[in-house]
Amino acid sequence: MSIYNITLIKGDGIGPEIIDEAVKVLDAVAGVSGLEFNYDEALMGGIAYDITGDPLPQETIAKSLNSDAVLFGAIGGQKWDELPREKRPESGLLRFRKELGVYANYRPAVVYDELVNASSLKPEIVEGVDLMVIRELIGGIYFGEPKGRDENKGWNTMVYTREEITRIAHHAFKIAMKREKRVCSIDKANVLDVSQLWREEVEEVAKEYPEVELTHMYVDNAAMQLILNPRQFDVMLTGNIFGDILSDEASMLSGSIGLLPSASVGNKIGVYEPIHGSAPDIAGQGIANPIATIASASMMLRFALGENEAADRIDAGIKQALSEGYRTKDLAQFDAKEICSTSEMGSIIANYAAKCKL
């Protein structure tokens, strides 16, 4: 039996509800796949600030670095919006990513056949979409210096070094090799110096992957192409802020932001989290969609622990729940046979994942 230590960071808003469902599913597959998970909870975000005065207590970093992987819910909420920037939940998350060195953020956007009607776009546009945004996560304008503000001015700086571009580009090409072997690198090289360097360096890395077709696209055009013809994309390689924006846009192809998982990797310990936020407006009502978090747990099994069979089980469980017509409220209008709560959805997926024949 393989035993894994998982740090759970539930966070704020719907975070605790969706993490509980992912744990339920993990435990269900553990039983049949011969795995055991030890969970250790750690604080981050608004709740961490309320309890400790710091949105990212040192203990959370220490626990995370001592575990095999981190499963993360969501952080933030209006309650903490007025705090000074470094006390805000979002600052905790950004510092956490930096401390763990997770510079590569994988954000797949897949349209499930069962939900082809759920997108705000026409079914014939989104059918069969299966793309992966590889977003640089600990550089760019989020972290660049100088930054600051005074009474009349605010400023941030988009900086990338060759080294930062190279290491994220390798992730994109390696992933592309396992997919359709196409990388589209996103930049604003017609305006930004930092993007010119980005383009130059991505071209360099591409030479090591002769089988992969590399194209470049300006970010504004990419935003348009994503809704015009999303099937043209296989892997989209982006800097930090472009990937933040485009991955939210891409999530709408799938019908609900409550469906999309992510993996943040780079150093030893990876962070697995849904791409959505803490949705305080629906917290505690049992209507949040846990699928993004459950799918993040599947990515954790695959990427961090190499437990592909268990991951396949979870993916199959999600698919079956959707094809049987189970829907949480966000997807209630789309071919639903039964509307279920957050915890019912977790139980249904757990059950299918444990029983499915692979």
Three-class DSSP category at 315: helix
Residue 130 is a catalytic residue: no
Name which of 298, 313, 251, 242 is nearest 277 in CA terms: 251
Tell me which of 99, 164, 201, 244 binds Mg ion, using CB under 5 A: 244
Q: Count the residues of the shown chain that bind ligand IPM, applying the rule CB under 6 A.
A: 6
Question: C-beta of 151: minimal distance to ligand IPM in Å?
Answer: 25
Which of 256, 257, 295, 287 lies closest to 275, judged by CA?
Answer: 257
* Backbone torsions φ then ψ of 172, nearest 5 degrees: -60, -45
Q: What tokens were used for 247?
A: 């991955």
Q: Among residues 70 and 93, whose Cβ is nearest to ligand IPM?
A: 93
Rounded to a whole number of angstroms, the minimum distance from the CB of residue 326 to ligand IPM is 27
- How far apart are alpha carbons 52 and 49 in whole angstroms? 5
Distance from C-alpha of 174 to C-alpha of 219, rounded to nearest angstrom = 22
Is 330 one of the annotated active-site residues of the chain? no
Start-to-end C-alpha separation, the chain: 20
Task: Tell me the closest approach of the beta carbon of residue 320 to ligand IPM, in angstroms.
Answer: 28
Catalytic residue among 12, 187, 244, 315: 244
Q: Is 147 a catalytic residue?
A: no
Lookup result for tokens 């592909």? 308
Task: List the one residue from 12, 114, 187, 244 that touches ligand IPM (CB under 6 A).
Answer: 244
Specify burial of residue 93 (Cβ count, 10 A radius: 0-12, 13-18, 19+). Answer: buried
Segment near ligand IPM (CB under 6 A), from 63-71, 90-98, 230-238, 297-305?
A: 90-98
Give 319's contacts (C-beta < 8 A, 6+ positions apart). 112, 114
Is residue 220 annotated as a catalytic residue, yes or no?
A: yes
Which range of residues in 11-19, 87-95, 217-225, 280-288 is near ligand IPM by CB under 6 A? 87-95
- Taking residues 173 to 212 in sequence order and writing x for each that binds ligand IPM by CB under 6 A, - otherwise, the string is ----------------------------------------
Residue numbers annotated as active site? 142, 188, 220, 244, 248
Q: Which residues bind ligand IPM (CB under 6 A)?
A: 76, 90, 93-94, 244, 275
* Residues at the interface with Mg ion (CB under 5 A): 244
